[in-house]
């Protein structure tokens, strides 16, 4: 008798079967677990019905999303795994006999006694894995992660033979204590929720997927009601939108190639609690008249119900328009989001600034720590009136506007038209005149600045939102003779390590021109409390 178990987390070359980091069964020898080559599919061999029933009982209790196949296997395989003991030829368990009689390759789905608390716990483990730690412990864990990342940076510098002294702590530069977030719960100013099948089987459930939405295995969509990092009015809007689409005759779109319509819902909010909603829909075969009718229904429903959670504006987004319009330069009248009602912008207060945020513009998801981080970097970098700032991937211009009161001029660069438009509006509304925002590739902006002698003592602020800088941009940074410092802010430190090294490599190696940079200090920032994510700011300087 053999038990064949298929699970994507099944470890290779192990003496026990693991599921969700729990030991389900200890096996007597390495030969007892057999893997099918090229897959995570293994067989566990047992000779006696007693052992077999014991394992089944354990699996029924502990496993989730597993498929158990009960089959007869060749005698030679059993003997190779258990060469010293005889095999029971026939099972005396009536349940097993009935299943085997029905089919030689019968699939038994393990029953799952899953409660609401179990689902909530799984969601919290995915979204807020540090929730049960004290905040001091969270900061300690993330600080240690940042030290490990910086030690990796130091090791790569050593391997590249960069002439920088690495201390006995294996760090390439001094590291400040992690900057804590002033708010650790209900701090997120933007969220996006998917639509999928819930635990109750309803295909129109708004929330998060517990499994990868691109995976072809079954997924469960769970609402955000129990997550501590999400604001209460975000949760209310998500639940209200769920009620709306459940009453709609249009189906939800859960995969990229299905025939559904409702795709996702996104929301942004400010510190005053004002909310902006963006509904994404795939038009499929709907006519313009049918889409206009759906917009009218959305407008009527949320104009009335949105008052309870302070919904100030609602946008309708055609899903297919999202990517093409985001990366192509379009005039302002061709908006990918259609405003159904309310204000055009969401106004956020950050220190002394009023920032105008549009549906597609980018801003850090934690306003309180963003303000603190920019202020701390401004002081630690000792910016003064002779400095000019080049803000690469400026978003809505927050960094440029914060730094503008200390420096001669700020130039913000972004490839997204919406970000540049919002940045210009923010400068105008705040009465700041020593800033300029351009829709350019970073390479083009650096080339223009390198030809201009106005920008001596230049500081580059780099904060890539979605992807790290390309190699050509790094080489342009190295080539820019007016550049004295770089403030590199990344939310994905592991992906940025190679760029850190490229900034420090000696001139002439691998085509790098200009003086190399030296890491001056690092500042880890707790960007997203309750989660594993953090930001790392490293200041580089030329000497």
- Where is the binding site for S-adenosyl-L-methionine, in residues? 393, 414
Work out the number of other CB atoms within 10 angstroms of the CB of residue 7.
Answer: 19
Cβ distance 465 to 395 under 8 Å?
Answer: yes
Q: How many angstroms separate the CA atoms of 281 and 246, rounded?
A: 14
Coil, helix or strand at residue 472: helix
186: left (phi over 0), alpha (psi -120 to 50) or beta: left
Coil, helix or strand at residue 208: strand
Coil, helix or strand at residue 493: helix
**How far lies 235's CA from each of 206, 265, 364, in Å?**
10, 11, 20
284: left (phi over 0), alpha (psi -120 to 50) or beta: left
Q: Which residues are annotated as a binding site?
A: 393, 414
Six-digit token string for 255: 């995969």
Q: How many angstroms separate the CA atoms of 5 and 322, rounded?
A: 41
Cβ distance 420 to 442 under 8 Å?
Answer: no
DSSP state of 507: T
Cβ distance 144 to 178 under 8 Å?
Answer: no
């Amino acid at each position: 008798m053999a038990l064949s178990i298929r699970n994507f987390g099944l470890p290779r070359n192990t003496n026990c079967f693991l599921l969700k980091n729990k030991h389900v069964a200890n096996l007597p020898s390495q030969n007892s677990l057999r893997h099918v080559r090229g897959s995570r599919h293994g067989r566990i061999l047992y000779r006696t019905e007693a052992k077999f029933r014991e394992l089944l009982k354990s699996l029924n209790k502990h496993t989730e999303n597993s498929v158990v196949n009960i089959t007869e296997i060749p005698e030679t395989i059993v003997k190779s795994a258990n060469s010293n003991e005889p095999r029971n030829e026939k099972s005396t368990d009536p349940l097993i006999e009935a299943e085997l009689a029905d089919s030689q390759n019968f699939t038994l789905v393990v029953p799952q006694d899953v409660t609401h608390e179990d689902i909530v716990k799984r969601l919290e483990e995915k979204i807020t894995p540090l929730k049960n730690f004290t905040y001091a412990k969270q900061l300690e864990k993330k600080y240690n992660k940042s030290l490990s990342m910086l030690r990796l940076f130091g090791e790569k510098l050593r391997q590249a033979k960069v002439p920088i002294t690495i201390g006995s702590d294996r760090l390439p530069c001094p590291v400040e204590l992690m900057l804590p977030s002033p708010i650790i719960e209900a701090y997120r100013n933007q969220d996006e929720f998917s639509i999928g099948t819930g635990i109750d089987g309803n295909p129109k459930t708004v929330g998060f997927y517990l499994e990868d939405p691109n995976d072809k295995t079954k997924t469960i969509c769970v609402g955000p009601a129990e997550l501590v990092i999400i604001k209460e009015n975000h949760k209310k809007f998500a639940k209200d939108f769920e009620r709306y689409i459940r009453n709609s005759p249009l189906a939800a779109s859960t995969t990229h190639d299905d025939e559904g319509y409702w795709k996702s819902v996104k929301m942004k909010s400010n510190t005053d609690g004002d909310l902006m909603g963006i509904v994404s829909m795939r038009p499929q075969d709907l006519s313009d008249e049918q889409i206009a009718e759906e917009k009218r229904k959305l407008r009527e429903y949320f104009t009335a119900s949105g008052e309870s959670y302070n919904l100030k504006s609602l946008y309708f987004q055609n899903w297919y328009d999202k990517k093409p319009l985001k990366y192509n330069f379009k005039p302002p009248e061709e908006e990918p989001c259609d405003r159904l009602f309310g204000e055009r912008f969401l106004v956020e207060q950050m220190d002394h600034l009023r920032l105008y945020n549009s549906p597609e513009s980018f801003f850090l998801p934690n306003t309180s720590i963003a303000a603190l981080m920019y202020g701390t970097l401004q002081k630690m970098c000792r910016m003064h009136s002779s400095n000019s700032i080049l803000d690469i991937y400026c978003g809505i211009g927050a960094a440029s506007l914060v730094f503008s009161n200390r420096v001669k001029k700020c130039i913000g660069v972004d490839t997204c038209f919406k970000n540049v438009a919002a940045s210009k509006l923010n400068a105008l509304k705040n009465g700041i005149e020593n800033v300029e925002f351009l829709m350019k590739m970073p390479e083009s902006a650096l080339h223009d600045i390198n030809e201009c002698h106005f920008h001596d003592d230049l500081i580059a602020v780099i904060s890539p939102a979605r992807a790290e800088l390309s190699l050509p941009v790094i080489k342009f940074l190295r080539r820019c003779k007016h550049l004295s410092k770089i403030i590199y802010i990344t939310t994905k430190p592991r992906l940025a390590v190679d760029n850190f090294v490229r900034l420090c490599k000696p001139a002439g190696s691998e085509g790098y021109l200009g003086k190399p940079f030296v890491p001056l200090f690092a500042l880890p920032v707790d960007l997203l409390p309750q989660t594993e994510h953090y930001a790392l700011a490293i200041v580089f300087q030329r000497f």
